[in-house]
Structure formats: C-alpha cells, structure tokens
Amino acid sequence: MATTELPVPALPEAHEEPAGLVDYLITVDHKKIGILYIFTAFAVFLLGGVLALLFRLELAQPGLQVMGQNTYNQLFTIHGTIMVLLFAAQVSTGLGNYLMPLQIGAADVAFPRLNAMSYWLYLFGTLVLLSSFFVAGGPAASGWTAYPPLSDAKYLQGTGMDLWIIGLALAGIAGIIGAVNLVTTIFRMRVPGMTMFRMPLFTWGILVNQLLILFAFPAITAALAMLFVDRNFGAAFFDPARGGSPVLYQHLFWFFGHPEVYIVILPMFGIVSEVIPVFSRKPIFGYRALVFAFFGIAALSFGVWAHHMFTTDAVYLPFFAVLTMLIAVPTGIKIFNWIGTMWRGSISFTTPMLMAIAFIFVFLVGGITGVFLASPPIDFQTNDTYYVVAHFHYVMVGALLFAMFAGFYFWFPKFTGRLLSDRLGKWHFWILFIGFNVTFFVQFNLGLEGMPRRIADYPIRSWGTYNYISTVGSFLMAVGVLVFIWNFIVSIRRGQPAGDDPWEGNSLEWVTSSPPPHHNFHEIPEIHSERPAFDLRHRSPSEADAR
C-alpha cells in the first residue's frame, strides 16, 4: 500500500488524556474542540429557536397576547444576535475544526492551545451575552444590528446592552484568533502532495470563511468598542448632536455584516460540494470554477455593504446595486456546477443528499429574491418589511440548516463510528422542509403587502392569516428539529456501525478510522488528485503492486 508513514509519537498509557468533562476542559485536540463548538452552537440554536417560537406565538394573531412590546423587542434582538453571530458563524468553525485538519492530512491545527482559547472565549462571550437576561432592565432591545440611537445610553439604559457588546466583543476576538489559526493550518500543514488545488471543497469553504472573518471581524469589533465608549465614557462617535454620525456605525456594522452572510454560508457551500459528488457517484463538476466562485463571492461581499443602507440616502446607489447584482454570477456558477455534478449521476437519495438538494432549492429562492432587493427602487419599497425577513431567512436559515444537517448526517459516522438513522432522517428532512417553507414563504407576501418587521402587533387583520400560517410552520420546524435530536440520541447509542468509510467518500477523512485516533492518521495515501480516498479505493492492482 503506497502511503506516507507518519512518525506518530508514542504516548505512554499513563499520559493518555483523562476521559470525561475534565478532558474537555483541558483538551487542545482539534476534534474535541470541534465537538465543543458544534454542541455549544447547537445549544445556542435551540435557545434562539425557542425565542423565535415565543414571538411567533405573539404574532399569530393581531393584538398583544403573549408578551409586551419591550419583551418582544428583547426576544427578537437576542434571537437575531445569537442565531447569526453565536450559532451560524460558529457551527461552521466547529465543523471546520474537526474536519479540516483531517481533510488536509494534518495531525492537528497549527496552534492547538490557541484553538482551545478561541473556543473558550466564544463560550464565555455567549454566556456574558445571555447573562443579560438576569440583569435589571433585561437584555438588549435594539435589534441585532444595534443601530444607534436605538442602542445608545439615552434610549437604552441598563447593563443589558453593555453585556451584549462585551459578549460579542469576546466572540469577535475568538473569531479573529480562530481565523489566524485555521488559515495558517491550511497554508502550512497540508500533507505532502496536497497542493491548494487538491484540497477538498469543504476545506476551501473553511479557508475563505476564515479569511472573511479575519478581514471583517475587526470592523465590528471596532464598532462595538466605539459604541461601548459612547455609552459608558461619554464619547460621541455616533451622536449627531455632538458631531458624531449614526451612519458611521451603519457603515462599520455592514462592512462586517454583509461578509458575515458569506462567513455563514461559504462553509455550507463546501459541505454541499462534498455531499453531492459522493451521492451522485461522480467527481464534482468544475472544481476550479467552484473555487474561484468561492473567492469571487468573498471578494464581492466586501464591496456591497451599503446595499443595507440604501434608504439612508447617504450612499452612492449604483455602485452598490451593480456589485450586489454581480454576486449572482459566481453564485449561479456554483448552482450550475452542483446540478452539473448530479446530471446523469447515479444518485442515491440518502438523508444528506436530500438535505443538500433542499439547500440548493432554498438558497436559489433566497438568492433570487436578493437580486430584486439589490435594485434600489424595489429596495426602497420593501426595506424593513417582511419581504427582507423572508429573503434573509431563506438564505441564512434555510440554506444554513439544510446544509448543516447534510453535514451532520454525512460526517456523524466519522465523529462516532455509527450511522444516524436514515428512516428518522427522512422524517426529519420532510418535516423541516415543509415547516421551513410554510414559515417563511408567506412572509414574502406579508412584506409585499407592507407589513414592517420588528413589530409585536399589527393593525391590519388580513395579515393575521399569513402570520398564523407562519406560526404553524415555525412549530412544524421545531418538530423537525426534535426528530433530529431523537435520532441523535438513539443513533449514538444503538446506531448501525458505520465502518471507516460508509459512503465511499472522496477526501482524506474517510481514509482514517471512525472516530479518528488522537493523532488523526496512522498512514496517509499519496495524494494525486482532489479525491485521494477515491484514488486509494479504485487504484488498479498493477498500480498498487508497482508501489
């Protein structure tokens, strides 16, 4: 067998890491840290989901039934904040932490201790932010964008907003440290033979995702610091009465905020680009085009921030409209490539594949409605309506969830050595897919009829029907997620043993055991293409003998 033998350090038994919670407290192993990220992010997702169910209950009928205006403001603020910044942006870091070193044939990340520190900063940031539920006045109520003056000390008193800022600052620092670590790992620790253009597409997704974090997070960290100083130390960065500018905050926020969308979604592109070829039994169609589409989207995402600010009348509209529409080109290339991969493939409709196909569908709906929003006249009509909410959730929730679950079903055997139940998985898929579309598709109509977002009550009774449907859909989604949790609990105990490579995968993680050993690999095959595991499986006997 042609392999690269690795000098694995032989740890004496006495020095094996202890098992249990203490093990996780002191671990610097990228796999355990990845698991910690994934579990924490998923817990945040469940909490954010519960908050959403609460305010969907409030919105099911006109009038105030469940909560008051301020509580509603607080719930949607924390829902948005934790879902976007503490779940969506972090779950991919968790998957990347676990899988990327395996995919490039490394034993760990470049700076394992720093990796642990990133996770703990993220966890503490999350806890600091959530602790605001227990302070006088409750948590922040400014919306997840925290625009001044809604977030300044004059209009939002109490420490809830300050805890929000400090919590996000900690998570932001964690993100920047983590990005330095993962980018260095990809640049410097690939196994011999794995050139950049032989890396798996999920690793490419993580690379571009982390580069975006590296260049975008400093902007939000600066904005948060300025907001904190404004609130607590009497500065006036964003106070127009004293020479500041609230639009300055919006610039800084969205210079981070739009790339954040791609921080969330690019690793999901990577997951789908791994899943579709495996279950179509074909190589990915247009590998290089996909890589350049990743970079095209990432670069363009830095040039479109002010399309979130069209209605401020403080930005040059055509520049941002044109660049925003341009993003449709690399995005279209991706969708074309995924369909090209499936075309005439031998497709097996397993749960991860169904999730990946659903991802393409919902991302397409989200993407196309985004092109409309890029047009300033339409944006002026639909800004701050439920049309934007629907578009945003199709991209950030639908696409993210379906790709994330595709990844969970796909790599769960690698994490645990067992398969998630495909039968329960299909229940999970269909309930979630129907629930998601019932929840959010009607919100396009609500937006076009003029319903503004961020209101607890609405005066027009005809909106009640759509809102009722949307609330039913949201509970259906919750049932879907519960099915997944049940599937997880059952499968991790009694799931079918998976073996090392249950799907006949393409990338290096399928070459090692499930779960992988502490040092990841005992031996690594020679790398001749972007599909080393495939090459190893299908090498001709004569070729094997020759080596």
Q: Considering only residues 264-323, where is the footprint of another protein by CB under 8 A?
A: 288, 292, 295, 298-299, 302-303, 305-306, 315-316, 318-319, 323
Closer CB to another protein, 251 or 393, in the complex: 251
The 3 state secondary structure assigned to 199-224 is: CCHHHHHHHHHHHHHHHHHHHHHHHH
**Residue 136 found at the interface with another protein (CB under 8 A):** no
Alpha carbon distance 43, 51 (integer Å): 13
| Structure tokens, 194 | 């794995």
**Residue 180 found at the interface with another protein (CB under 8 A):** no
List the interface residues with another protein, window 368-407 (CB under 8 A): none
160 contacts 71 by C-beta, under 8 angstroms: no
**Residue 120 found at the interface with another protein (CB under 8 A):** yes
**Residue 193 found at the interface with another protein (CB under 8 A):** yes
Give residues with Cβ within 8 angstroms of 178, minimum separation 6: 93, 115, 118, 122, 210, 213
Binding segment toward another protein, per CB under 8 A, in 9-17, 41-49, 268-276, 338-346: 9-17
Alpha carbon distance 277, 287 (integer Å): 11
74 contacts 54 by C-beta, under 8 angstroms: no
* Shortest CB 317 distance to another protein, Å: 10
Selection from 403, 397, 398, 420 nearest residue 483 by Cα: 420
Among 155, 197, 349, 372, the residue binding another protein under the rule CB under 8 A is 197
Among 31, 56, 79, 190, the residue binding another protein under the rule CB under 8 A is 190
List the interface residues with another protein, window 232-251 (CB under 8 A): 232, 248, 251
* Shortest CB 1 distance to another protein, Å: 18
* Shortest CB 120 distance to another protein, Å: 3
* Shortest CB 395 distance to another protein, Å: 22
Closer CB to another protein, 59 or 374, in the complex: 374
Closer CB to another protein, 121 or 403, in the complex: 121
Among 31, 40, 88, 108, the residue binding another protein under the rule CB under 8 A is 108
Selection from 484, 467, 503 nearest residue 430 by Cα: 484
List the interface residues with another protein, window 323-342 (CB under 8 A): 323
Closer CB to another protein, 110 or 419, in the complex: 110
Closer CB to another protein, 431 or 527, in the complex: 527
Among 48, 94, 105, 480, the residue binding another protein under the rule CB under 8 A is 105
Among 397, 527, 533, 536, the residue binding another protein under the rule CB under 8 A is 527
SS3 525: strand
* Shortest CB 309 distance to another protein, Å: 10
Among 107, 179, 268, 536, the residue binding another protein under the rule CB under 8 A is 107
List the interface residues with another protein, window 16-75 (CB under 8 A): 17, 23, 25-29
Closer CB to another protein, 248 or 347, in the complex: 248
Give residues with Cβ within 8 angstroms of 4, minimum separation 6: 191, 192, 193, 523, 524, 525, 526
* Shortest CB 54 distance to another protein, Å: 27
Distance of CA 160 to the CA centre of its chain: 26
CA atoms 216, 222, 223, 224: torsion sign: positive
Closer CB to another protein, 169 or 401, in the complex: 169
Q: What values do phi and psi take at 4, rounded to 5?
A: -100, 110
Among 54, 189, 347, 455, the residue binding another protein under the rule CB under 8 A is 189
The 3 state secondary structure assigned to 369-427 is: HHHHHCCHHHHHHHCCEHHHHHHHHHHHHHHHHHHHHHHHHHHHHHHHCECCCHHHHHH
**Residue 358 found at the interface with another protein (CB under 8 A):** no
Bridge-partner residues for 3, per DSSP?
A: 525
CA 298 vs CA 112, 171, 476, 482: distances in Å = 27, 21, 34, 34
List the interface residues with another protein, window 140-169 (CB under 8 A): 159, 162-163, 166, 169
Alpha carbon distance 192, 283 (integer Å): 22
Alpha carbon distance 115, 101 (integer Å): 12
Alpha carbon distance 113, 30 (integer Å): 9
214 contacts 300 by C-beta, under 8 angstroms: no
Among 113, 154, 281, 454, the residue binding another protein under the rule CB under 8 A is 113
**Residue 219 found at the interface with another protein (CB under 8 A):** yes
SS3 497: strand
Alpha carbon distance 98, 104 (integer Å): 11
* Shortest CB 84 distance to another protein, Å: 20
- Under rule CB under 8 A, how many of the chain's residues touch another protein? 73
**Residue 518 found at the interface with another protein (CB under 8 A):** yes
Binding segment toward another protein, per CB under 8 A, in 66-74, 123-131, 334-342, 389-397: 123-131
511 contacts 434 by C-beta, under 8 angstroms: no
Binding segment toward another protein, per CB under 8 A, in 10-18, 260-268, 333-341, 393-401: 10-18
Binding segment toward another protein, per CB under 8 A, in 187-195, 370-378, 382-390, 497-505: 187-195
Among 60, 75, 121, 403, the residue binding another protein under the rule CB under 8 A is 121
What is the phi-psi region of residue 12: left when phi exceeds 0, alpha when psi lies from -120 to 50, beta otherwise?
A: beta
Alpha carbon distance 309, 265 (integer Å): 22
